[in-house]
Amino acid sequence: MSHNPAISVVIPLFNKAAHVSRALDSVFNQTFQDFEVIVIDDGSTDNSYEIVKSYSDPRLHLICQENQGVSLARNNGIKHASADLITFLDADDEWCPQFLETIIYLRQRFPDAGMYATSYCLGYKSHTVNPKIRGIPSYPWEGILDSYFKILVTSSALPFVMISVGVPKTTLADVGQFNPDVHNGEDLELFYNIAMHYPIAYSTYIGAVYH
């Protein structure tokens, strides 16, 4: 019998030859290994395609499309995802080793949530910085966020970013996917739509590095 993975990892890719190996390695080095990786090459003109193609892991699927932007690339990844829980990683960012494990744990503990998220850090050439997020209990904490919108008002830092969330397919079917007409902040629009209809489960574990 065929086995659908627990998580689909969607990675939009456009001219990130210098960084995509770091992103992929951070996925394959996860403590939780029941996943598939769907890379959507959005018309790259460098050797990004060849770098991804060099990976032999059978869980990696590489799909090419003409350049259409990150929203349609992610939507194409969602279309091809076989898992009912989807995570998103940008090709120039990376995950910390227990990110997927944490997302799975949150879903098991809070099955009615519409999105699962972890904290993150900002990556620079020589160091990382943890954003000061107000309105969330200090580490270690996990639970349902009291109000996503209240956190946005009271904190200068976002509670989570696109690369630190997992979203069930049922949520995306309900609220919609990424809006291709929004070219800056398409991820925030999706978060707003989810937060208006569903509770959001959260862990203060730093699960992703946003470079």
> What's the confidence (pLDDT) of residue 1?
46
Instruction: Give the burial string for 182-191 (b: 16+ CB within 10 Å, else e).
Output: eeeebbeebb
Which residue has 């574990």 as its token pair? 205
Report the alpha-carbon distance of residue 115 to residue 73 in Å, rounded: 20
Mean pLDDT per 10-residue section of the chain, whose length is 211 residues: 88 98 98 98 97 98 97 98 98 98 98 98 95 95 97 96 98 96 93 98 98 97
Q: Are 95 and 49 in contact (CB under 8 A)?
A: no
Give the number of other Cβ atoms within 10 Å of residue 200's Cβ: 23
pLDDT at position 175 is 97
Predicted pLDDT at 133: 96
